[in-house]
Structure formats: structure tokens, C-alpha cells
Structure 1
């Protein structure tokens, strides 16, 4: 009789594990692609929209994702904008490494050892530049091997290999240029305290791509995506309100650099 009772329990446990696995895939898809509609997720993951909604309801209940209205550029059509689901800070933390505290303490030590104040800030900035220069070796090879019109895409792929879930796309609106969008930042929490990390990254993007770039939004400052504008020839950068669709409504356009 015991074996008969155990079978349904094992099936239930297997079902719960499958649900968690699919739920993780949904959250990961939002991380990789930014805030997404139910239809987007269903198409990417090969699930029905009903199944996606069920998993999203669970993720919302767990405060891993949150719904919001999709930002619309240009003329708005009839009806309400589509609802998108974005990762919360808590949800993003689940994908981050657990070394934030150690990293922040190390940077504080560097700043104190240099004497604090402006000297301390300069020491942290020097560390940030040295760190990104080391990481950029692989990026430089990828960018230089690409055709000029494909270099932003090549940089995005190189960043993705380092966990930044980056994409490249044409800039919205009338601006001629591209947007490099990083949907994940492994050092976001540390960069909240030390914006020198973002500034050094922006500088290296400019050097790698051979043009002045403008940081329009960052995860470290509360935006949904780190967004960098790479101008075409010619064309001014877009206004902050024209940043990537995945940026936070309340904080898009903050530029720590």
C-alpha cells in the first residue's frame, strides 16, 4: 500500500520541479531580452500564452518580476499599451554573483588607502579603468574583426559572453545611430556606490568603437537596462525620453558618466 501512496507524491514532486525549471526559463528570458510581453515569452520559449501567464503569476507573487505598461514611441494606436513583465531588483539578484559585499569592501579599502576624498575617488577610477582594460582584450579582437557596420553587434556578442546579456539595435526615433543595451550587469550593486565602474566602461566602449558614445541609462541607477547610444554619421543623440524601450519609466536617461 505504501508504494501506491508514494507514486502520486513522486509525480507531484516531479511536476513541481518541472514548474520551477520552466519558471526559471521565463525569468532568464526576461533577463536576456528585457521586459517582455506574454506573447514575446510564449514565442521565445515555445509555450502557450496560458502557460506563460501561469508562471508569470507565480513569479509576480514571489516578487521576482513585476508588470508595467509598455513604453510607446511616436503615435500611439488604439487601445491600451501592451503589458510587459520586468525583473525586480530581487529577481535580478538571483542571477548575480554573491561577491558584492566583498567587492564593495575592497573598493572602500582602495579609496581609504589612497587618502580618501578626491585622491580616493581617483584611485577607484584607476582600478576601474584597469579592470575594464583587462576585460576589453577579448572585446577588442571581436570588434576589430567585424565590418564597421557590424561592430556594435560584435561588441554586444562579446559582452554577452561575459554575462551582460547585451543586444544591439537601431536607435528609436529619428536619430541615426545604434543603441547597445546590456540587460544584465554582474556588478550593478557595487556600481551604485562606485559610478567609476560605469564611467570606465563607457570610456572603453568609445575607444573600441572609435567614436564618442553616450550612456543614456544604467541598471546601477535604477533603469531597466544599461543603454549606450552610438551615433551614426551624422546624427545627434536621442533625448533621454527616446532611450531603449526596456529602460525604467521613472529613471531612464540618468547618465552616471
Structure 2
């Protein structure tokens, strides 16, 4: 299974000399340095792919030659694959080489078929489903598989009010569970709040082959994400459908805008209640002070009365 240990290595300060061992250094030190750097390169390809060697070098503060050595090695091993991308800026020139994790690389990061088999066996031991439960075997297995994550994560996530913070924490939980979770912020410089969002990404799918055969697994996972974040989400891509990363759109800006509108509506309603209460009090005081009616009599009427 994918291990988040490489993430902590990627977070450590990078040095241009990290990939080069000291002259005369022991072979074990050289191998450890190579392994650590390669893990950091792989982690960035998982999170940022398709990504170029130049971009990797900039982020890791390594020379282009050092980065390409690791990329070439992992490409030869079948862990990475190259995608040639032609951009408008490059025009009709040579396409840019971008790297993504291959299907074989996904397998080397680990699968969770053992956990899935255990879940399936548990359902079989419970006996056949009730006649009224008209769901397929795959749908029932998917629901049971992801419900375990939901039960474990829901108490912690429900205590986080801010949607941005809740989404970030969910990505960390996915990462710890072997899904290589991370987030990307989208449209944060857009003046329109409703256009701002977060992409919840999973660079690895431990059950991608089963999900490819049974898309209901992706559907159930999306429903679980929606319930855990307490917001409607939209799936943009899945590895089961051929993408290099699973991406879920979280409408953070739209939810913040809706919350602001609800707050303004509540404040306006409260202000109207206060105004109505004040008007009612003034009206009551006028009735009390003006309860006796004043009668005006003309001089001729006074003569008649006298």
C-alpha cells in the first residue's frame, strides 16, 4: 500500500546537493540518498502530473540532469510514462515531455484487495440480502467498503466548521489510507466568490481495477465524500476511467457565498423584527396618551347651550 512517508520527505528542505553523495561516501549512504530523492520525485509526479522535468527540478531545487536520471530510471522500470504535450506557447515546435504514473506504477504503490476480499467474505457470512434490498452485489460491496472509512472519519470531520479546512483534512485522511490524497485550490484570485473551489485529488486508487469493472465503486466513494464534507460535490475524473488522478470538485466559494447570503438575510430579518417591535411600542403609547377625545365647540353652539 502507498506510504505517506515520502510526503514527509518531500516536505523537508531541499538542497541542490541532496542527489550527490560526498566523495568516498559509503555505498549505503549513496543508495539511501538516491532512494529518498526518487521517492520525492515520484510523490510530485503523483500530485502534479503530467509534469515536466524542469518543473520537478524547480520544486525540488535539483539540477535538470539529477531529475532526469530518476525519471529515466523510473520510466525504464515502467513506474512512470511519458506524455508528449504541445502547448500554444510552444507552437509547432517539439512537444513537451510530461511525466505521469503508469498503471504498473500504480500497482507498485499498493492495492487494497485484501481488505476488499475481507469485506466480501463478511457479507457472505451474513447470508443473502433481504428480498426487498434490490441492490447488486457490487453496489452492496462498494457501500460496505467505503462505509468503514465514513464511520471512522465522520466524527472528526463533522467537528470542523470551515469547508476549506474540512476538505484539507479529508485529503490527509485519504493519504493516510493509501489513496495519495492532496488538494488543489482553484480560482482563489477570482473576484467572484462563487467561482472559487477546491479540487480533492487522489493520486492512487488501491482498488482501481475493480472500480474500472464496476463504476459503482466510484459512485459510492463520491457519495461518501459528499456526506463527509456536507456539500454537493462533482467528480471530474477517475483513475478507473483512465485518468492519472481522481479529482472531485468541491464548491467552496459557492457554499461561502450561500452562507454569507443566509447571514445577511438573518440580520435583515432581525432588524425588521426590531423595527416592528419599536413601531408597535410607539403605536401603543399613542393610544394611551390620546385615549380621551377632544371636542371643539363654536361660539354660536356655546350660546345655544347656555
TM class, shorter-chain normalised? 0.5 to 0.7
- For structure 2, list consecutive stretches of 5 or more residues without a partner in the other structure: 1-23, 256-306
Match of 1:229 in 2: 249
Task: Please state whether the residue corresponding to 1:212 is helix, strand or coil.
Answer: coil
Task: Please state whether the residue corresponding to 1:145 is helix, strand or coil.
Answer: coil
Match of 1:211 in 2: 231
Task: Please state whether the residue corresponding to 2:69 is helix, strand or coil.
Answer: helix
Match of 1:130 in 2: 147
| TM-score of the aligned structures, taking structure 1 as reference length | 0.68
Q: Distance in 2 between matches of 1:46 and 1:216?
A: 32
Question: Does the 8 Å contact 1:38/1:53 carry over to 2?
Answer: yes
Task: Please state whether the residue corresponding to 1:228 is helix, strand or coil.
Answer: strand
Question: Are 2:89 and 1:77 aligned?
Answer: yes
Question: Are 2:107 and 1:93 aligned?
Answer: yes
Select the residue among 38, 41, 48 that pairs with 1:26: 41
- How big is the shift at 1:15? 4.2
Select the residue among 55, 61, 75 that pairs with 2:76: 61
Match of 1:250 in 2: none
Larger Rg: 2
1:27–1:21 distance in 2 versus 1, CA, 3 Å:
same
Task: Please state whether the residue corresponding to 1:233 is helix, strand or coil.
Answer: helix
Match of 1:249 in 2: none
Question: Does the 8 Å contact 1:216/1:228 carry over to 2?
Answer: yes
Match of 2:137 in 1: 120
Q: Distance in 2 between matches of 1:71 and 1:114?
A: 54
Task: Please state whether the residue corresponding to 1:86 is helix, strand or coil.
Answer: strand
Q: Distance in 1 between matches of 2:34 and 2:146?
A: 43
Task: Please state whether the residue corresponding to 1:63 is helix, strand or coil.
Answer: coil
Match of 1:200 in 2: 220
Task: Please state whether the residue corresponding to 1:47 is helix, strand or coil.
Answer: coil
Moved more, 219-228 or 192-201: 192-201
Match of 2:185 in 1: 169
Question: Does the 8 Å contact 2:157/2:166 carry over to 1?
Answer: no
Task: Please state whether the residue corresponding to 2:173 is helix, strand or coil.
Answer: helix
Task: Please state whether the residue corresponding to 1:180 is helix, strand or coil.
Answer: strand
- How big is the shift at 1:118? 4.4
Question: Does the 8 Å contact 2:154/2:228 carry over to 1?
Answer: no
Select the residue among 48, 54, 63 that pairs with 1:39: 54
Number of aligned residues? 221
Q: Distance in 1 between matches of 2:59 and 2:240?
A: 27
Q: Distance in 1 between matches of 2:86 and 2:231?
A: 29
Moved more, 163-172 or 85-94: 163-172
Q: Distance in 2 between matches of 1:24 and 1:193?
A: 30
| TM-score of the aligned structures, taking structure 2 as reference length | 0.58
Match of 1:140 in 2: 157
Q: Distance in 1 between matches of 2:90 and 2:48?
A: 26
- For structure 1, list consecutive stretches of 5 or more residues without a partner in the other structure: 1-8, 235-257
